[in-house]
Amino acid sequence: MPMQHDAVEVISAKRDQHELSDSQIDWVIDAYTRGAVADEQMSALAMAILLNGMNRREISRWTNAMIASGVRMDFSTLSRPTADKHSTGGVGDKITLPLAPLVAACGVAVPQLSGRGLGHTGGTLDKLESIPGWRALLSNEEMMAQLESVGAVVCAAGDGLAPADKKLYALRDVTGTVEAIPLIASSIMSKKIAEGTGALVLDVKVGTGAFMKSIDAARELAETMVALGQDAGVRTVALLTDMSTPLGRTAGNAIEVQESVDVLAGGGPADVVELTLALAREMLAGAGRSDVDLADVLASGRAMDAWKAMIRAQDGDPDAPLPQARESHVVTAPSAGVLTRLDAMAVGMAAWRLGAGRARKEDPVQAGAGVVWHARPGDAVTEGAPLFTLLTDEPARFDRALESLEGGYDIAPADTPFTPAPLVIDRVG
């Protein structure tokens, strides 16, 4: 039982730039989870943390207190090693979909507890729910059985995992306190450590479409999370990857599933393939299976077989046609030249406004909605040729989506030199 403290004492300490003691942290997380610290008190503390920060000891204690607020999963009885991936969220980020079955096909189990999208970044569960019949909710027993038989599970995190984070994240979302690095790091890592994976690869996005707009902030977040993972005995590394340009050629739900299936079939956009392989290599290394030839597993169709088995195990039909939006609108290139910039935030906002994402967590999403872009930075464009296709079931949404795309791309004269930015910027851990 944590020592007794007082909410105002803890808030004032952080407000006055003091370090919180271990027992203050244990108490405030436990009391907040039980409802003994009120939302308004926790939001004042979250704002004080955002403004004054926390040191590594405080972040580590905060993370452990959030883990202790719920249950911990245990995969140690599985016959395969486990590895998971977490992305801090981006536009067109469908990587989990080809990655989980690819790594599973290499003999490593992937227990991926995922979330739904909020705002302009998509959610993995929303994408998978566009597959007819597929269900996100599994019992722990079903998850274990699927990990043993198929090797990959992507499902919703149960209520028992880090409940303190669930409550605190919802509060941060409405109090302007999401962007605090100590709170983001502890939120993500409490769930991943409680999930019980043996190895973890963090895809920390940086750029206009990401939480972290600057490389320095992304590196600080990555270093903090890697340290938390390693302290907890989880082999953790992070890749810093670009999110100024959206990934692939689509942002939405069903259209991103299709793009992922294309990758598993040996095709798909080059950047999606590159990032999938880079993250898979790290996951295999963390699980002690660096000997596997990933390109061979992809080319042999074994990753596609694992995908189909993973979808079927969760009652989905991997061969059923995917839902399509009822309405489409094509945006053409206003001039000829070379596309030099495609802004991830602009595309993400357009997809969101078309109905692919939600404004509140209770809102439904449209399976067929989203944005397809027909050129990526570096591609030549012809005046009048399609640049974007916007998809939605509700044509009234087109105007707001078009507004989002205004100023979201640049077309320069054809002879303008263009150097593509690297997709994988750095590795931490």
Distance from first CA to last CA of the chain, Å, rounded? 35
Report the alpha-carbon distance of residue 156 to residue 158 in Å, rounded: 6
- Listed ranges 99-107, 182-190, 310-318, 324-332: which one lies at the site for ligand URA (CB under 6 A): 182-190
- State in angstroms the smallest separation of the CB of 169 from ligand URA: 5
Measured from the CB atom, the residue of 66 and 99 that comes closer to ligand URA is: 66
Report the alpha-carbon distance of residue 324 to residue 252 in Å, rounded: 11
- State in angstroms the smallest separation of the CB of 71 from ligand URA: 17
- State in angstroms the smallest separation of the CB of 172 from ligand URA: 7
- State in angstroms the smallest separation of the CB of 332 from ligand URA: 36
Query: What phi and psi, each to the nearest 5 degrees, are found at residue 89?
Result: 105, 130
Q: Is 62 in the site for ligand URA (CB under 6 A)?
A: no
Interacting residue with ligand URA among 24, 187, 260, 404 (CB under 6 A): 187
Interacting residue with ligand URA among 62, 169, 373, 409 (CB under 6 A): 169
Q: Is 188 in the site for ligand URA (CB under 6 A)?
A: yes
Residue 374 catalytic?
Answer: no
CB-CB contact of 259 with 247 (8 Å): no
Report the alpha-carbon distance of residue 59 to residue 69 in Å, rounded: 15
Q: Is 184 in the site for ligand URA (CB under 6 A)?
A: yes
Measured from the CB atom, the residue of 217 and 285 that comes closer to ligand URA is: 217
Closest CA relative to residue 92, chosen from 265, 217, 214, 244? 244
Secondary structure element (H or E) that encloses residue 102, with its range: helix 96-104
- Catalytic-labelled residue, pool 26, 84, 93, 165: 165
Measured from the CB atom, the residue of 121 and 260 that comes closer to ligand URA is: 121
- State in angstroms the smallest separation of the CB of 113 from ligand URA: 10
Measured from the CB atom, the residue of 225 and 411 that comes closer to ligand URA is: 225
CB-CB contact of 377 with 343 (8 Å): no
Q: Is 255 in the site for ligand URA (CB under 6 A)?
A: no
- State in angstroms the smallest separation of the CB of 184 from ligand URA: 4
- Catalytic-labelled residue, pool 43, 187, 244, 260: 187
Tokens of 259: 């793009």
For 124-185, give the DSSP string.
Answer: HHHHHTTSTT------HHHHHHHHHHTSEEEEEPPTTS-HHHHHHHHHHHTTT-TT-HHHHH
Query: What phi and psi, each to the nearest 5 degrees, are found at residue 405?
Result: -80, -15
Stretch 382-421: interaction string toward ligand URA, x if CB under 6 A:
----------------------------------------
- Listed ranges 28-36, 183-191, 364-372, 419-427: which one lies at the site for ligand URA (CB under 6 A): 183-191
Closest CA relative to residue 408, chosen from 244, 269, 248? 244
CB-CB contact of 370 with 356 (8 Å): yes
Measured from the CB atom, the residue of 183 and 309 that comes closer to ligand URA is: 183
Residue 205 catalytic?
Answer: no
Residue nearest to ligand URA (CB): 187
- Listed ranges 180-188, 218-226, 364-372, 421-429: which one lies at the site for ligand URA (CB under 6 A): 180-188
- Listed ranges 67-75, 177-185, 288-296, 319-327: which one lies at the site for ligand URA (CB under 6 A): 177-185
Report the DSSP beta bridge partners of residue 205: 241
- 265 class by beta-carbon count within 10 Å (0-12 exposed, 13-18 middle, 19+ buried): middle
Residues touching ligand URA, count (CB under 6 A): 6
Measured from the CB atom, the residue of 156 and 277 that comes closer to ligand URA is: 156
Tokens of 289: 């299976």
Residue 165 catalytic?
Answer: yes
Tokens of 16: 């006055």
Tokens of 348: 């993400």
- Listed ranges 176-184, 323-331, 384-392, 409-417: which one lies at the site for ligand URA (CB under 6 A): 176-184
Secondary structure element (H or E) that encloses residue 272, with its range: helix 270-286
Beta strands in 12-163 (DSSP E): 83-87, 110-114, 152-156
Measured from the CB atom, the residue of 80 and 205 that comes closer to ligand URA is: 205
Q: Is 66 in the site for ligand URA (CB under 6 A)?
A: no
Closest CA relative to residue 188, chosen from 234, 119, 251? 234
Chain residues binding ligand URA by CB under 6 A are 169, 178, 183-184, 187-188
User: Known catalytic residues?
Assistant: 86, 165, 172, 187, 191
